[in-house]
Each structure stands twice: as structure tokens, then as C-alpha cells.
Structure 1
Amino acid sequence: MDRIIQHQYDQLAQHYDQRWQWYLDQTLSLLQDWARITPGDRVLDIGCGTGEFERRILQECPQQSMVGIDLSRQMIAIAQTKCNTYPQVSFQIARAEELPFADASFDRVVSSSAFHYFVNPIKALIEMGRVLCPGGEIIILDWCKNYIVCQIYDYVLKWTDPAYQQCYREAEFHEFFNQAHLTIKEAARQRPGWAWEFMIVRATGTGSGSFRQKFGI
């Protein structure tokens, strides 16, 4: 599955920002508002794509420390080019379910429009909780299957997109956080136009030590 996603997004990378400009503006603006990133935060962006979120944050705070991960080499290459003048920002290929970082490495873990590609969403959330510092926050935005149009997307993509897993109803989404022992502090749904409805969650963890005890990691 990783190779399928890599191949698909390697092909899309060159024209991705231009093709999805409106969508990126809507989703990343919403993620930025919810993330409430402060200059001292260490930020992990899961499914960073072409580094557009990093670029937006760096425009406001050029000293921000950020790490982006993605499965597409071409997406990562574009992200690195965008942010090559910021030594405190890095990108690497990695899976959400196997984050290559130490416990309690980040103050903010964010992800936009990637959750519906996760093969094991609960394991991905457990990993996010593991690398989150005490008092840190996880902010995830994804499509909301409560909305009929997103149900249509979900049906069609399962037949046409080999990399796609599924999107979820809000209650299912929230239950994943509960199973990963993450506490939801705030949640909402937002529909910027008829074509999409997004759900977004802000959650906290319980500290890396307790995560290791609960999940044997």
C-alpha cells in the first residue's frame, strides 16, 4: 500500500499545489487556526505533501521548528525546495503508523486530509500520542462522511483510487481517539462550500510513559 501511495502522489506532485489551490487554502487555513502554533513549539506535520502548511507557518514565524513526513519522494522534494532557507525545518519519508521519532518529541502534531489514507488509524493515533509532549496537542482535519457528498466520494474512491482507505463519520472518528487513549478537547465540522465537509479535532495525550504501559511500546 505504501508503494501505491508513493507512486500515485509522485505523479501528482509537480502540479498538486496549482490543481488543489482552493482546497489547500480552505483546509490549511482551518488547520492553522486550530493548531494555535506558538514560536517555541516543535511541530510535526503528518502527510505534509508539498510543504504548503510549513510555508504558511514560516511566513508568519520564520524561526518555527517543524518536521514534515510523507510517503511521496516527489512531494518531499518540493517541500524541501520551498523551505530550503530554513535550517530548523526538515522533511522525511515516513509512515504515520511508525513514526521515526523519540517519545515526547513534539508540542504539536498536525495532519490535514491524510487520515483517509491511513491503513491503521488507531495505530497512527497511538504513535502521535507517543511522540507528543505532555501538555501538547494533536490536531487532525479530514473529510466527514456524515455529509452525503463525502459519502459519494468515499464510494467512488474505493473503486477508483487504489491508495484510498476510507473516510469516517464523526462518531467513528472520535471513537478512534478514545481507543488510542487520547482526550478530545474540541471538535467541529465545517463546510466551506457544497463540495466538502471537514471534521476537525483537537486532542491531548497522557504522556509517553503511560502510552508505553498501555500499548506495550
Structure 2
Amino acid sequence: MTQHNPTEHDALIQEQFTRQARPFAEVRAHSAGDAMELLLDALSPAPGDTALDVACGPGIVACALAPRVASVRGLDIVPAMLDEARERQAKLGLSNVAWELGDASRLPYPDESYRLVTTRYSFHHLLEPLVTLREMARVCQKSGRVAVIDVAPAEDKRDAYDRAEKIRDPSHARAVTERELVALFDAAGLEIEKTVRYRLEVELETALRASFPEPGGADRLRALYRADVGVDALGVGAELRGDELHFAYPIAIVVGRKRG
């Protein structure tokens, strides 16, 4: 595995997601209603709950939670993402959402501040996901829920998947398998209540339009995915539909309850 300097990696995340903020927000798959319903059903929000969405990006999850809870706070390290989140909130007319600039590994909140704590599509960017998960558990109330939603490739395909994703997005660190997620939850003092799986379908050119690979990376990725049709070494089920290359990220929703 490539070794990253934490400061350099944070800078990569800032660079990539400042550029990706608008196109990421506009990728329809990220707002897919069926995937969001799976998350909301797994999380079981209640009207009196206070919620925190860590590494909230353009506010998609936070704004989906808002009508079902008392209040939501979204935190992200990229100012441009928070600008997108505020715009989404305004369009939806939500008054119970607040946004804050901050680091997922050092949450600026007291212990047991929130009933629900979530993060979606962030763990594969983190050099030390356990640090962030422990922080999420710390700010969660006793018997509250913590949810991680992220790509969870098959163990025998993770390395190939990581190599491909690092071409598409240089800020990708390492995907976490489902077995690793289970171990992380245990280490963070969270008892897993529910695991739900789905596949997030994406068309390759759509994904590339929302990405900023290094020079030549897009063509390398096209060749890699085309060669994977019928092989599935990457674990994403690449297939040709006419002239379009389609694939699907294997996503896991893991919901844990904080031990009292």
C-alpha cells in the first residue's frame, strides 16, 4: 500500500474536493432515492433526535435526515462542499440544519452530543478510519446510533479496486472491507445492529466528469474498466451497454449502537 503523509493527504483531499464540489453534488447516483431510503430505514431516525453528519460533503445525507429529526449538523473539511450544502439546504427550505468547517478526526463537540452520527462515502479517504469512528462514537449519546456508509469491496478484489480508484481520485486512500468495518465498530465500542448492502450504479464517463485524475488517468481508467468486462477483477461488475461502460460500487451500510 502506498504510504501517505497525513498533511499531504489532507491537502490532496482539499484539492480534489474543492474541484469536485459542484460536479459531485450533481451526480444523480449520489442522491438516489432508493439508496437513501435504505440508509434512513437502517438508521431509524426519530423526531426528537439530534444528528451529526461527518464529512458531510454537499449535504445530501444531512438534508435527507432533516425532515425526520429535531436538528442536524453537517461537518466537512472542504469549504466549497459546505457552500454546496448551504445551497441545497436553501433550495429545500430546511431550517433545522447547520454547517461547520472541521476535521473528521478531531470533532469539535462535547461527549454524547448527538443521538445519531453518520458518515457516507468518506472512510476510503481516511488514513486512520478508526480515529474518526472513535470520535463519532465519543460524540454519540449512550444507546445512540452510529452509521458508516461506504464502499466495501470483496477482500480478494480490494487491492485491484484501490489501484483503479487511485487513478480516478488521487485522494483515495484505501477501501475498507466489510469484515474490517465490523472490527472497527467493535474497537470503537459500537455493537452492530444492522448491515445493509446495495450496489451504486454509475456510468464511467459520468464518474470521470465528476473526477479530476492526474494527466492521462482517464484514458488509463477507461482501458482498465474495458479490460475488466466479463472478468470482474475490480469487483464492480463492469459491463458495456452500447458504447457506455457501466459499473456498480458495492456499498455497505453498517449501523451500530453505542454501548451504555
TM-score, length basis structure 2: 0.71
Map 1:140-151 onto structure 2 (within 5 A).
Answer: 140-146=148-154
Write out per-residue CA displacement over residues 132-151 of structure 1, whole angstroms, 9 at most, x where no aligned residue. Answer: 01110001111111177765
Structure 1 portions without partners, runs of 5+: 208-217
Alignment partner for residue 55 of structure 1, among 44, 51, 63?
Answer: 63
Matched, 1:183 2:208: no
Write out per-residue CA displacement over residues 123-169 of structure 1, whole angstroms, 9 at most, x where no aligned residue. Answer: 11111111001110001111111177765432212355331111122
Alignment partner for residue 169 of structure 2, among 161, 168, 193?
Answer: 161
Which residue does the alignment assign to 2:78?
Answer: 72
Write out per-residue CA displacement over residues 19-64 of structure 1, whole angstroms, 9 at most, x where no aligned residue. Answer: x212431543322221111111000001211112233234x44x73
Deviation for aligned residue 1:190: 2.5
Which residue does the alignment assign to 1:212?
Answer: none
Which residue does the alignment assign to 1:214?
Answer: none
d(CA) in 1 for partners of 2:41, 2:157: 25
Alignment partner for residue 31 of structure 2, among 24, 35, 40?
Answer: 24
Report the residue type matching 2:88 in the other structure.
K
Which residue does the alignment assign to 2:208?
Answer: none
C-alpha contact 2:59 2:74 (8 A) present in aligned 1: yes
How many residues get paired?
204
Write out per-residue CA displacement over residues 60-85 of structure 1, whole angstroms, 9 at most, x where no aligned residue. Answer: 44x73000011211110111122245
d(CA) in 2 for partners of 1:188, 1:57: 18
Structure 2 portions without partners, runs of 5+: 1-8, 202-236, 238-247
C-alpha contact 2:49 2:71 (8 A) present in aligned 1: yes
C-alpha contact 1:145 1:151 (8 A) present in aligned 2: no
Which residue does the alignment assign to 1:100?
Answer: 108
Question: How large is the RMSD of aligned CA atoms in angstroms?
Answer: 2.2
